[in-house]
Amino acid sequence: MLEGKNIILGVCGSIAAYKSALLVRLLVKAGAQVQVVMTPDAVSFITPLTLSTLSKKPVLVNYYKTETGEWNNHVELGLWADMLIIAPATANTLAKMANGLCDNLLIAVYLSAKCPVYFAPAMDLDMWLHPATRQNVDKLQSFGNTMIAPGIGELASGLYGEGRLAEPEEIVSFLSSELKKKSLLAGHKIMVTAGPTYEAIDPVRFIGNHSSGKMGFAIADELAGMGADVTLISGPTAQVSKQQSVKLINVTSAAEMLDACLTIYKDAKACIMSAAVADYTPTEVASQKIKKKDASLNISLKTTTDILKTLGGQKAPGQILVGFALETNDEETNAITKLQKKNLDFIVLNSLNDAGAGFKQDTNKITIIDRNLQKTTFALKSKEAVAHDICLKLAQLING
């Protein structure tokens, strides 16, 4: 998977920099073109001569070549690279990346890069666990950068715990897996819906539900990670996509979500409808805030358009449509009925009776039922891991 790839390897000032020699050798052996960029402090831990010999390219450290004054063009480097890997990534470099503090060539290349960015942290246990480091890591991941998690073991300080740079073989394997994953849905346009809808009663009140949008955003991010061209249509939510390539359309009501879906759906290869769309909306919306009275208040409701059923009725040959069923009783029976009535290719069932599943949770427990009524039940997992299971099922259908 790495053959022919242009890779920039950023090496920072860490005792773990000695592992970068083997990492360069493994990347070159895999057929990649490797350009090493070192921070000024990194040269104290491993020599540029070692890495230039292994990479067969001059190692870059400064903005310009001292002897000639020639500029090491960080913009061209950022455009040349198919991927940027920073390993080891120190706490200092992570902080600079997260906050755009550009005081060396490596950070200039990072800020110019158009390619996927991977970072492999290496530091002592207490530094790794510090809230500032955790915040910087979260921030980098929110930018769409991918972390290669540190290992657990003996550290340079003598402590034992998390913070060791992943082994070079693990890094190469991780990168190969990422590239393979990105090829699964490359070139396919996929629509995802997420979050609740809010149905206005008056200018300040609405009918809604407890959906946080976490599941839908996790699915959109996972699809983008598999190489898909993703459009995410979301109701009101505080969630933020971790993949910069995801196109976000914000809506509020079920009617607005329907309009957005009808616009995008006709060009989509697949659609995963994870939004919790309101079933009812007020017949009339008051133009002014309804004042509280001693008497009871009755609100007349009408049904919203069933978006999933509408899309199922318009589904073209080869299109794939996926729905969700959040149930509290007769779970499988209700899910299968929904699967068949709405012309779905598979349905994702989860039950509010399962601890850790449902709205606002960081975890979920699902059963996937396909149109042949074959069931696959999964254990309780993080919503990111659940998203992977769902998207892998979709990729299998798309790729036959």
What pTM was computed for the model?
A: 0.73
pLDDT of residue 178: 86
Q: What is the CATH number of the domain that holds 109?
A: 3.40.50.1950
CB of 314 closer than 8 Å to CB of 265: yes
290-314 residue pLDDT tens: 888 777 888 999 999 999 999 999 9
Token look-up 């299109």 returns 319
- How many structural domains compose the chain? 2
- Out of 68-72, 86-90, 243-247, the most confident range is 86-90
pLDDT of residue 400: 79
374: domain CATH number?
3.40.50.10300
Residues 228 and 111 in one domain: no
Check whether 217 is labelled as a binding-site residue.
no
Task: Tell me: pLDDT of 243 over 90.
Answer: no
> Does 387 map to a domain?
yes
Q: Is 338 annotated as a binding residue?
A: yes
Half-sphere exposure of 283 (CA within 13 A, CB side): 5
Residues 154 and 175 in one domain: yes
Residue 145 annotated among the catalytic residues of the structure: no
Angstrom distance (rounded) from CA 16 to CA 45: 8
Is 279 part of any known ligand binding site? Answer: yes
Question: 138, 165, 182 — which closes off a domain?
Answer: 182
Judge whether 65 is annotated as a binding position: no
Domain boundary among 182, 217, 238: 182
Please check whether residue 380 is in contact with residue 214, taking contact to mean a CB–CB distance below 8 angstroms: no
Last residue of a domain, one of 125, 148, 182: 182
d(C-alpha 98, C-alpha 139), whole Å: 6
Asked if pLDDT for residue 66 goes beyond 70, the answer is no
Domain co-membership, 176 together with 232: no
Contacts of 49 (CB under 8 A, 6+ apart): none
14-43 tens-digit pLDDT? 999 999 999 999 999 999 999 999 999 999
Do residues 143 and 64 both lie within one domain?
yes
Residue 1 belongs to a domain = no
pLDDT, mean of residues 365-388: 93
Residue 292 located in a structural domain:
no
pLDDT of 359 over the 90 cut: no
* 157-167 mean pLDDT: 89
Q: Is 324 annotated as a binding residue?
A: yes
One domain for residues 242 and 164: no
178 part of a folded domain? yes
380: β partners: none
For all residues of the chain together, what is the average pLDDT? Answer: 93
Domain of residue 341: give its range: 189-286+297-398
Q: Is residue 234 part of a domain?
A: yes
Q: Which residue has the tokens 């009408």?
A: 302
Is-contact 264 280, C-beta < 8 A? no
pLDDT of 64 > 90? The answer is: no
Same domain, 43 and 121: yes
The pLDDT, as a whole number, for residue 70 is 81
Q: Given the structure tokens 């109701």, which residue do they identify?
A: 235
Q: How far apart are CA 170 and CA 188, in angstroms?
A: 30
Tokens representing 181 are 């994953």
Give the pLDDT confidence score for residue 187 in this predicted structure: 87
Residue 46 lies in a domain: yes
Q: Are residues 124 and 87 in the same domain?
A: yes
> Domain check: are 337 and 361 in the same one?
yes
Which token pair is 341?
A: 């009535």
Residues 313, 370, single domain; the answer is: yes
Q: Running DSSP on this structure, what letter comes out for residue 362?
A: S
One domain, residues 220 and 175: no
Instruction: Please indicate, yes or no, whether residues 206 and 127 belong to a single structural domain of this protein.
Output: no
pLDDT of residue 225: 87
Please give the structure tokens belonging to residue 187.
Answer: 């070139």
Query: Pick the catalytic residue: 6, 72, 73, 209?
Result: 209
Is the pLDDT score of 358 beyond 70? Answer: no
Q: What is the pLDDT of residue 329?
A: 86
Domain shared by 266 and 342, yes or no:
yes
Q: List the structure tokens of 47.
A: 């020599």
Tens of pLDDT along 107-127?
999 999 999 999 999 999 999
Taking only the tens place, the pLDDT of each residue in 164-204 is 999 999 999 999 988 888 888 988 999 999 999 999 999 99
* Band of pLDDT at residue 245, cut at 50, 70 and 90: confident
